[in-house]
A = this chain, B = another copy of it.
Amino acid sequence: MLQKFKEHINKNFPFLKDKKLLIAISGGVDSVVLTHLFNSIKFAEISLAHCNFKLREVESDKDEDFINNLAKETNKPIFTISFETTIYAKENKISTQIAARELRYNWFQELVKKHHFNYVLTAHHSDDNLETFLINLTRGSGLDGFTGIPKKNGNIVRTLLPFSRDEILKYATKNNIVWREDASNASTKYVRNKIRHQVVPFLKEINPSLLETFAKSLDNLEESQQIIKDRIQDVSSTIIKKDSSSTLETTKFTISEINKLSNPKAYLYQLLKDYNFTEWNDIYNLLSAQSGKQVFSKTHRLLKDREFLILSGRDFSTALEKTFEIHRNQSAITNPIPLVLEDIVEKSEENKETIYIDKDLLKYPLLVRKWKNGDYLYPTGMQGKKKLSKYFKDEKFSLLEKENTWLLCTVDNEIIWVINHRQDRRFSPTKTTKNHLKITSI
C-alpha cells in the first residue's frame, strides 16, 4: 500500500510537497495509518491534532493519552483540545454528531490560522465514502449528497479516499501499527454501523469490486455536477442583477428570468444551495408571493422585493435593530454611515447630502438607526406630519432601499433627517437660529 500511496500523492496531491500539514487524528486505525504513511514518505512537514469530545469519558481520555504517546515517539508536534460536545449540541439544538463535526472543523481552522498550516488532512477512505452515499440515500438527498466526500474542500484534504478499509487494516497489521478502536463518536454511529455491517457486505457479495465500481460512478456523478455548474454560471449572468446602490452585500435575482427557465424550482435550488436554506417549497413560492415575503436560513435571508428575489446575509436584517449614538462634542462618525458634524455661524447651500439644523433644538445623544413601525416625519416643504412608511411608499422606496436607509434622530427618537433623502422641518434653522449645525454625509 505504501507504494500505491506514494504514487497517488505524487500524482494527485503534488501541491502538498514540503508543506505544513495538520493531520486530524482520532487514534483509530485510519488516522494512525495516515500518519504512518506520511511519516514514511517524508513528503511534507506534519503535525497532529486530536479532539477529545468527552463522549465516552475514560475511553476518550485514553485515546488522548495514546495520541500524546504517539506524538512523543514519532517526535511530532501535537495539539489537543477537549470539548463539552453534549452541552454544545444541546445549546445549539443539533445532533451530537453535527456538534462534534462543527467543533472539530472550527478548531482545525483556528490552528491553521494560528500556526500557519497549509492544509488539514483527514483519513476518510472509500468505505466511508460508500457508507456516506448510502446514509444519504436513507435520508433523502440530491446530486450533492451522492457525489461523495470531496478530495479537497478548501484547505481540508483527503488523501485516503481511493483506499479501502481492508487495505488500511492490512497495512496496519503488516507494519505492526498499534491503534485504538475509535470510540469517540460511537454513540452516534448507529446508522453508519448498520450500513457498514448489514448493508455493504451484501452489496460486496453481488460485486466484489464494489468500491472500484463505486469510485467510477462517483466520477460520473461529479462530471454531471460540473455540467450543472457550467449551466448555472451561464444563466447567472442573465438572472443576477448586480446591485451597486446597496451599501450591504446583497444579490438580486430577476424573477422574470428565473421563470423563463425549463424548471425554475430546480434552478432556484442550484442558485441558492450554498446558503443553508431548507424550506425549498417556501423559496419556490416566493416567486409568486407578495412583495415583502421572506424566507430565512440560519445564515441568510431571501426577500421578495417587487420583480426581484434579494439574497442577503441574515445579519443584514438583525442590523435593523441596532442603534448608534452621536454625542454632543463629536464632529464625525464613520459607523454605520460616515457623517461630519460642524458648528457654523450661518447656513449656506443645502442638498441631499448636506443639511443645516438649529443646534439648540436638539437633545443629545443623537441616534442613528434604521426605520421602525410608528416613525413619523414632518417633511420639509410639506405641511403636517407623515407616517414614515407612507413617505417611503410615496417616494417609491423598495424594501431594500428602506432597509438601506439610515435615520438621524434625537434621543427621544424624533426624526431629524432621513439621511440622504429628506430633512424633518421641526429642526430646520429659522430666522432666530443662533447656532447652526451642518451635517454632511460623505
Chain A residues at the B interface, C-beta cutoff of 8 Å: 133-134, 137-143, 145-146, 191, 194-195, 198-199, 202-203, 205-207, 210, 213-214, 216-217, 220-221, 223-232, 234, 261-263, 265-267, 269-270
Contacts and interface: CB of A to CB of B under 8 A. Distances in A.
Contacts of A199: 199, 202-203
Task: Name, among A139, A146, A217, the residue most crowded by chain B CB atoms within 10 Å (CB to CB).
Answer: A217
B214 A205 contact: no
A143 B221 contact: yes
14 contacts: A142-B220, A142-B223, A143-B221, A195-B206, A224-B224, A224-B225, A224-B228, A226-B262, A227-B227, A227-B263, A227-B267, A227-B270, A230-B231, A234-B234
Nearest to A216: B140
Copies in the complex: 2
A272 to B, nearest CB: 13
Given A143-B221, A221-B142, A263-B226, A137 B231 contact: no
A143 B224 contact: yes
A230 B227 CA distance: 10
Nearest to A261: B230
A198 B194 contact: no
A206 B263 contact: no
A247 to B, nearest CB: 34
A141 B220 contact: yes
Contact of A217 (B137, B206, B267): B137
Nearest to A203: B138
B213 A138 contact: yes
Closest 9 CB pairs of A and B: A142-B220, A223-B266, A231-B231, A140-B213, A198-B202, A143-B224, A138-B207, A138-B206, A226-B263
